[in-house]
Amino acid sequence: MKVLAIQTSPNVDGLTASLAIAALVGAESAGAETELVHLRQLDLETCRACDRGWGSCRTENRCVIEDDFQELRDALGDATAVIVSTPVYFGEVSEVAKTFFDRLRRCEWGRGEESPIHGTPAIGIAAAGGSGNGAATALVMLERYLQMVGLRPFDLVTVTRFNREYKLSLVEVAGRKLAESAKGA
């Protein structure tokens, strides 16, 4: 059983990353093999909307851009469960999260059960570090992205710098429960 966490903040030691790590600690306590990906450290271009948006991503389920996207997409397909942790920027998910999900949804849209990520359980975490505002709207956006690409939301969590302490524990428990449920599937 493999749990993959994707954290989308530029801060590898900030609130967003600490939440992804806490969820992975929980998954490890349930016996999962884990991997943490810092999305900002990958080479990811924005979608080019080839052929007016209906290029090989739609016809062949692959992106023509040669960067780190396909490797991460393959890692998602190999995962038993997924965790996505994003900072909240202007009430939305991070720009790099949008970039990744924009490309992923074009390749996965309409594949259904043919997709290796179809039905994979996922935890979505929206972390609002500054004012704490916008966490709920960012989480709604993250939930929509997870659903569009075929992942199955297992849990959705908002966190602010004000409730960080107890939410770290909550996310660790969620990671354990995610791994336990994926093990039993």
Q: What is the CATH number of the domain that holds 87?
A: 3.40.50.360
Structurally, the chain folds into a number of domains equal to 1
For every one of its 185 residues, what pLDDT tens digit does the chain have, with 9 covering 90 and above? 999 999 999 999 999 999 999 999 999 999 999 999 999 999 999 999 888 877 888 888 899 999 999 999 999 999 999 999 999 999 999 999 999 999 999 999 888 899 999 999 999 999 998 889 999 999 999 999 999 999 999 999 999 999 999 999 999 999 999 999 987 76
Beta strand pairing call for 2-7 and 81-87: parallel
Q: Where are the alpha helices (DSSP H) in the chain?
A: 15-29, 50-53, 56-59, 69-78, 95-108, 135-148, 164-184
Q: Which residue segment(s) compose the domain that 72 sits in? A: 2-184
Reported pTM: 0.96
Strand, helix or coil for residue 103:
helix
